[in-house]
Structure 1
Amino acid sequence: MHKTEKRSVYDYDDLRRLIAPEVVAVVGASSTPGSFGERTLSNMRGFSGKVFGVNPKYTEAAGFRCFPSISELPTTPDCVIIALAAPFVEDVIRECAKCNVGGVIVFASGFAETGTEENKAAQQRIIDLGRETGVRIVGPNCVGLVNTTLGAGLNFMPNFYKTKLIDGPVSVISQSGGLGYTLFQGMERGIGISKYLASGNSCDVDVCDYISFLADDPGTKVIVCLLEGVKDGDRFVEAAQKAYDRGKPLLVYKMGVGELSSKTAMSHTGTMVGSREAFDAAIARTGAIAINRLDGLLEAANFFARAGVPRSGKGVGVLATSGGAAVVTADKAEEHGVVLPPLAQKTAEKLGEIVPGFGSVANPSDLTAEVLKTKESFVGCFDAFAEDPSFDAIIVPLVFASPESSGARTPLMCEMARKTGLPIVGIWMNDWLEGPGSEVLDADTRACIFRSSDRCFETIALWQEWHRRRNLPKDKKAGARLSPEGAADKARQIFDSMAPGAKSLDETKAKQLLAEYGIAPLKEAFAATAEDAVREAGKIGYPVAMKIVSPDILHKTEVGGVKLGIPDEASLRAAVEEMFKSVSAKLPQTKIDGVVVQEMAPNGVELVVGATIDAQFGPLIAVGLGGVMVELLKDTAVRLAPLTPADVSEMLEGLKCYPLLTGFRGSEPVDLAALIDLIVRFSEFVSDMPDRIAEVDVNPVIVTPDRAVCVDALIAVNNKKQEG
């Protein structure tokens, strides 16, 4: 099968004529009701530019002038929509290329999505045609696009032209045309959306290109992406990083996060790191924001677009008129790590003048229904909260839906949002989801609404964290390697010395390889016989540990291949003979090379440092609580390699076991600097060898107050032939 050349993402100018056209032509124009050609022309009725139909059978279709071919149009179209069956698509694209068209949108299905070789070949031909001619192609199998700013319905969605288009700062990208369109229909609630971009089969233009375009689009402040998967993780990272650098939040809802692969992992890391972890690692690298639910995604995007930058980064204030609502918000704030700071003295004094004695002057407050009797009372409470320097936003639970309650309060909330400059957020705590006043908050350009306390505080936590990260100083050591010069060349020589077909490096070679990167193991030596073991143990000093050496045994403890605390020469001789006999009995076909005699590991905190190679995103580093606990407790942090010291610090601080490293219940803190150094060097090794390794475990890494040492290592190799 032909392999498409890898490329960088398209930029704004590459896609401008396609997504923000001045002239549009619809090939397959028709007046037949319900046909794609008729629907598309109808959906272009509000377009601010020029629209032409192309069909030799008509001079007019759906109210637009029609011409026999693209070459006979009075002016060159920027965007051509192909509303024809699959067999006609290729010839139309060729004509578009001759006429210098900017881009095409292909509705037709019947290409690679069918899975047949014939149809995959047909899609490959239009891919090649786009690459050769420079015509950008959306689709095939695509519902089309929307540019609300221009009134352009570049799609065949039924009755789209009846939709009241509302421009706004949020743009939506979706691989699934139908699912993405459900978000676009948020305009029916009064929510403004700048652009809706579907990608279909993504034969040329894909979600990564759309992200790149919107990163420079002046009409977009926040990007929402509904993602099924990416063909090239590097391009996704490139596009997401571009959006982050431009200061545009990228909210990603990832579908299909279950582990679809049927592989049997060889290492602890391989067991722990799947598609979800790989995606989250890419998100962490780029500063994008993972949203793990479709419902409320548009509410979160609107909040990011309307809220601006947190004032203090300290917390939020809750103005409730119900004690129960106050308790609910306090629970959800704690669950999502959002701080509800105590009221400043001045704030408390002002509230005390308004709130009746049976209320609660606190945060969350319970203003009681008394403050709703007059506008002045409600606004006075807002004024007091708005002046409190600890609050980044003010949350108002809306419990009763009625014209007199929610209907009266929401306009005041919008007014206060403009007056104070703070994000004013209503939590709609009522099952009348579109009750009086909800439409006011949906449509406002400053105030926001969430129909869930949980989603509200989850979004606020993400918002505060996103801005906190952007304010961090850049890691000055990000470009400096810690590994010795020439380490990669020496590592490849070790891989080249392996026996053909071997699944993994033996422990001795694995540690030798890591040592080339400056990751020092405990004192140890290989021994082929009991006599050799006794001799080496004499050099190391008793007590010693002993482990079986075999390229066929990945987890030594499971076959009795580890002995600890061997006190003397006689015990060592007996232990060697017993281990050889026991392992051979359990695994009679296994090749045993000998044993490793090793100094006993010091007491300390045990961690696992591992790696896998993800098909989309490449090398992934995992760090977690070590030994056999890694799979049981699932306390693991995963990031894309290579790592900087700042990356590693963030990973460690995110572990539940982090207090064990900093001194827990009187224990001495470990040498974090040594641990960070080891993990950075390990990540450099993995980044250098993605074609040689499949999975890696350094387990355990033991960290003490004065060092970090590698006790055991497993390196499973990639024996697959690399594609040319």
Structure 2
Amino acid sequence: MKDLDAIFSPRSVAVVGASTTPGKVGHDIFVNILKGGYRGVLYPVNPNAESIACVRAYPSIADIPYPLDLAMLIVPPKIALQSVQQAIDKGVKGVVIVSAGFKEVGGEGLAIENQITQLCRDNDVRLVGPNCLGVINPLADVRLNASFSARMPKPGNVSFISQSGALCTAVLDFAGERDFGFSKFISIGNKADVDEVDLLRYFQDDPDTEVIMIYVEELQRGQAFIEIAKQITGGNRPKPILVIKSGRTSAGAQAAASHTGSLAGSEAVYDAIFAQSGIIRVERIDELFDYAIAFAYKNENALGKMRRKVPHGNRVAIVTNAGGPGIVATDMTVVSGLELATFSEETVEVLQSHLPATANVHNPVDIIGDAAQDRYERALNAVIRDEGVDGALVILTPQSMTNAIGTAKVIVSIAQRSHKPILCCFMGIVDVSAGVKYLQENGVPVYPFPEQAARSFGAIYRYAKWLNRQELAPYHFKHDKAGARKIVEACVNDGQCYMGELTGVHLLKCYGFDVLPTELALTGDEAVAKAEEMGYPVAMKIVSAQIIHKSDAGGVRINVADAEAVKAAFEEIVANAKAFKADAIIDGVLVQKMAPKGQEVILGATRYPKFGHLLMFGSGGVSVEVFKDVTFRLAPINRNSARQMVRGIKAFTMLSGFRNMPKADLTILEKLIVSLSDLVTDNPEIKELDINPLLVHPEGQGATVADCRFILEPEEN
């Protein structure tokens, strides 16, 4: 028995806190299990009742004279603690605590939850909750509705995980209206023990789960989540994961010293996690179901095995009997990352030979409102066979001569013969209902509006790109890790929370960054001597732990060309710094060799509790504050993620050689992003860092660090 089988497929269940009063949770959960047709043995536990819903009740779990797999608890925290101990003594392997009043209220509730959790872990018992809706398994050999939702969903191949019990009831209601089925359905509440990571591991090998849907409020184990999600979405038997994350907002970014810290927020962390895991993020519950319908779409391959239908590209053909919906679908196709396919001459000729003269034989194909199923058949057959078409959207609007069921049968027949996905939009309710039902029964995705069909096609295309991605060989760097540790530990031991550029360039050099000759000058004369030693022109920057953003204080001068200009710049920089922050401690002025010209980008990292370091790449210099053209990933990352980061910003067009601009050295950018990941992973004391700007030179000429800053803070144990 797998560790969560006792939760999802128990042979016997005790409901502790079963009530004789309808409307109470303890009564309704027991009755829901009973009326749901549970295939195992059910025991109500209530010391004050002889029976619940005509089933003999027991005073306690200990009084049940038969083996027990699962204990459902609907009792207050103190009684729950006693009941868990009794359940463990009885030999249960699963406990679900529906009751509230635990961690979410703090104090004694938190203390009791911690005791229960430890008790379960010490005895290898898995715990779901507290403060959850419960567990549902509608499959025919189990039929367990151990929840306070009266609605038992139909069986299906989609498993759903939710942190919110209230959302679960809404989802079940929504699913019922759309005749949507589930394999497993679980609310995890406080996640005292079982969380999303545990459930993903279970669903990975569950033969009845083909698609996984998750509602997330907060993840506790970011790296573990990425690891298991990547195995599921891109492994030997891939399964799509669809996620709704609550609280999508620009709020949540830190009041931080670095650009990275101020731009990154909790949403950036979650977007990075989902991007690295091959997870499709959706915005609304209706989208969740739309996409799940498309992802569950399968057909039999040449070996007789069922395979998920995903497109090999993004070229879509649209077949419609009405111009307006076809235009809407065209617009949404482009918005969804797809493009209208261009038909071959042969396809156009076939369409012309079968369609009326008034029809449009170019994409979108308008077969005119009086089209019967034969016209749909000929048009769809022609476009789906075109090698320049990766899939099709079929739109039907009900006209007086429309045969919805006949058209549906034609579509199913073609879909079963083709490896390309065909998604349908049958607009209306009553007139098309028979056709819609036939499509649903035969596994062809069908939607009431063209926007839904186009968005869903876009989602399966994004997943197809993830499945077909090339795995680049990893880099093998020889970093000076020992040298870097000495620098970081020396700063931490000296109580330095801010590492300036003078020390920072040496740290970056340990990880392969090309840095400029950099010296600290305490006087104007000393600045001149150092400038002449390294050669003109030079850059000059104020050095003060109290002034992190040097440009804001007027503390930067570039292209300083001679001794006289160096001396004047020194005096001016110091004066500006004192005027900007009178109590700032001025350590001197940095003199740095000017870097060769290059395109400005920013690299950065900021550390998050529970997740580690969030890496940032984007347009650099002052433009990072204006345009916020950045991408994020959670460290550690591989070469693939670095490449996606570089290609994920809008300014990538500029980097890849726009008009007369030379193509930037993209190879060194990818290497440096992975090196930065290594740096922060090896040195967790780095709380924030910016390399801004990093000047990227033309292809083959590398990149140079022009400025950097580090904030250090030892991690809390």
Seen in structure 2, the aligned counterparts of structure 1 residues 495 and 152 have a Cα distance that, compared at 3 Å, is farther
1:256 maps onto 2:244 in alignment = no
1:212 maps onto 2:201 in alignment = yes
Seen in structure 2, the aligned counterparts of structure 1 residues 675 and 234 have a Cα distance that, compared at 3 Å, is closer
What amino acid maps onto 2:205 in structure 1?
D
1:457 corresponds to which residue? 454
CA contact (8 A) 1:652 1:658 kept: yes
Q: 1:144 aligns with which of 125, 134, 146?
A: 134
Seen in structure 2, the aligned counterparts of structure 1 residues 211 and 257 have a Cα distance that, compared at 3 Å, is same
2:377 corresponds to which residue? 379
2:190 corresponds to which residue? 201
Seen in structure 2, the aligned counterparts of structure 1 residues 438 and 237 have a Cα distance that, compared at 3 Å, is farther
Once the two structures are superposed, residues 422-467 of structure 1 have per-residue CA deviations (whole angstroms, 9 ceiling, x without a partner) of 433123555x599635751684352112344444333322322322
**How high is the sequence identity, in percent, across the aligned residues?**
32
What amino acid maps onto 2:411 in structure 1?
M
Stretch moving more, 649-658 or 395-404? 395-404
What amino acid maps onto 1:370 in structure 2?
D
What amino acid maps onto 2:467 in structure 1?
R
Please give the TM-score of this superposition, normalised by the length of structure 2.
Answer: 0.92
2:213 corresponds to which residue? 224
Q: 2:677 aligns with which of 683, 697, 700?
A: 683
1:122 corresponds to which residue? 112
CA contact (8 A) 2:95 2:125 kept: yes
Stretch moving more, 138-147 or 502-511? 502-511
How far 1:363 sits from its partner (Å)?
A: 1.9
How far 1:612 sits from its partner (Å)?
A: 0.7
- Helix, strand or coil at the partner of 1:51: strand
2:713 corresponds to which residue? 718
User: Within 1, Cα distance between the matches of 2:256 and 2:406?
Assistant: 59
What amino acid maps onto 1:413 in structure 2?
I
1:698 corresponds to which residue? 691
2:286 corresponds to which residue? 295
Once the two structures are superposed, residues 119-178 of structure 1 have per-residue CA deviations (whole angstroms, 9 ceiling, x without a partner) of 111211111111122221111111111101145344343533xx4x42111111111112
Seen in structure 2, the aligned counterparts of structure 1 residues 524 and 28 have a Cα distance that, compared at 3 Å, is closer
1:469 maps onto 2:457 in alignment = no
User: Within 2, Cα distance between the matches of 1:617 and 1:455?
Assistant: 34
User: Within 1, Cα distance between the matches of 2:178 and 2:225?
Assistant: 31
Q: 2:485 aligns with which of 481, 485, 489?
A: 489
User: Within 2, Cα distance between the matches of 1:528 and 1:539?
Assistant: 16
Q: 2:64 aligns with which of 73, 79, 83?
A: 73
What amino acid maps onto 1:704 in structure 2?
H
2:626 corresponds to which residue? 632
What amino acid maps onto 2:53 in structure 1?
A
User: Within 2, Cα distance between the matches of 1:625 and 1:158?
Assistant: 50
- Within a 5 Å distance, the mapping from 1:660-679 to structure 2 comes to 660-679=654-673
Runs of 4+ residues over 4 Å off in structure 1: 259-262, 401-408, 432-435
- Within a 5 Å distance, the mapping from 1:134-213 to structure 2 comes to 134-149=124-139, 150-160=141-151, 163=152, 165-185=153-173, 186-213=175-202
Once the two structures are superposed, residues 89-120 of structure 1 have per-residue CA deviations (whole angstroms, 9 ceiling, x without a partner) of 111111111111010111111111123x1211
User: Within 2, Cα distance between the matches of 1:69 and 1:402?
Assistant: 66
User: Within 2, Cα distance between the matches of 1:257 and 1:337?
Assistant: 22
Seen in structure 2, the aligned counterparts of structure 1 residues 62 and 497 have a Cα distance that, compared at 3 Å, is closer
Seen in structure 2, the aligned counterparts of structure 1 residues 402 and 135 have a Cα distance that, compared at 3 Å, is farther
Q: 1:268 aligns with which of 259, 263, 266?
A: 259
Size of the alignment, in residue pairs? 700
User: Within 2, Cα distance between the matches of 1:644 and 1:201?
Assistant: 33
User: Within 1, Cα distance between the matches of 2:450 and 2:218?
Assistant: 30
- Helix, strand or coil at the partner of 1:32: coil
1:341 corresponds to which residue? 341
How far 1:393 sits from its partner (Å)?
A: 2.6
What amino acid maps onto 1:459 in structure 2?
S
CA contact (8 A) 1:494 1:513 kept: no
How far 1:382 sits from its partner (Å)?
A: 2.3
1:42 maps onto 2:37 in alignment = no
CA contact (8 A) 2:133 2:186 kept: no
Seen in structure 2, the aligned counterparts of structure 1 residues 603 and 328 have a Cα distance that, compared at 3 Å, is same
2:608 corresponds to which residue? 614
Once the two structures are superposed, residues 625-648 of structure 1 have per-residue CA deviations (whole angstroms, 9 ceiling, x without a partner) of 000101211211111112323321
User: Within 2, Cα distance between the matches of 1:588 and 1:38?
Assistant: 70
- Within a 5 Å distance, the mapping from 1:15-26 to structure 2 comes to 15-26=4-15
- Helix, strand or coil at the partner of 1:656: coil
Q: 2:512 aligns with which of 509, 518, 532?
A: 518
How far 1:324 sits from its partner (Å)?
A: 1.8
CA contact (8 A) 1:249 1:304 kept: yes
User: Within 1, Cα distance between the matches of 2:206 and 2:431?
Assistant: 32
Seen in structure 2, the aligned counterparts of structure 1 residues 106 and 694 have a Cα distance that, compared at 3 Å, is same
1:4 corresponds to which residue? none
Please give the TM-score of this superposition, normalised by the length of structure 1.
Answer: 0.91
User: Within 2, Cα distance between the matches of 1:34 and 1:462?
Assistant: 41
Seen in structure 2, the aligned counterparts of structure 1 residues 578 and 522 have a Cα distance that, compared at 3 Å, is same
Seen in structure 2, the aligned counterparts of structure 1 residues 504 and 454 have a Cα distance that, compared at 3 Å, is farther
What amino acid maps onto 2:21 in structure 1?
T
User: Within 2, Cα distance between the matches of 1:439 and 1:130?
Assistant: 48
How far 1:344 sits from its partner (Å)?
A: 2.9
User: Within 2, Cα distance between the matches of 1:452 and 1:553?
Assistant: 56
CA contact (8 A) 2:440 2:446 kept: no
Unaligned runs of 5+ in 1: 1-11
How far 1:380 sits from its partner (Å)?
A: 2.2
Unaligned runs of 5+ in 2: 299-307
- Helix, strand or coil at the partner of 2:242: strand
Q: 1:583 aligns with which of 570, 577, 581?
A: 577
Please tell me the root mean square deviation across aligned C-alpha atoms, in Å: 2.4
How far 1:700 sits from its partner (Å)?
A: 0.2
User: Within 2, Cα distance between the matches of 1:123 and 1:24?
Assistant: 22
User: Within 2, Cα distance between the matches of 1:447 and 1:27?
Assistant: 44
Q: 1:505 aligns with which of 499, 504, 510?
A: 499
User: Within 1, Cα distance between the matches of 2:102 and 2:355?
Assistant: 66
CA contact (8 A) 1:312 1:392 kept: yes
- Within a 5 Å distance, the mapping from 1:281-320 to structure 2 comes to 281-307=272-298, 308-320=308-320
- Helix, strand or coil at the partner of 2:607: strand
Seen in structure 2, the aligned counterparts of structure 1 residues 236 and 434 have a Cα distance that, compared at 3 Å, is farther
What amino acid maps onto 2:479 in structure 1?
S
CA contact (8 A) 2:48 2:59 kept: yes
How far 1:624 sits from its partner (Å)?
A: 0.4
How far 1:608 sits from its partner (Å)?
A: 0.5
User: Within 2, Cα distance between the matches of 1:85 and 1:411?
Assistant: 56
1:3 corresponds to which residue? none
Seen in structure 2, the aligned counterparts of structure 1 residues 442 and 632 have a Cα distance that, compared at 3 Å, is farther
How far 1:239 sits from its partner (Å)?
A: 3.2
User: Within 2, Cα distance between the matches of 1:417 and 1:69?
Assistant: 56
User: Within 1, Cα distance between the matches of 2:509 and 2:285?
Assistant: 47
- Helix, strand or coil at the partner of 1:67: coil
CA contact (8 A) 2:427 2:448 kept: yes
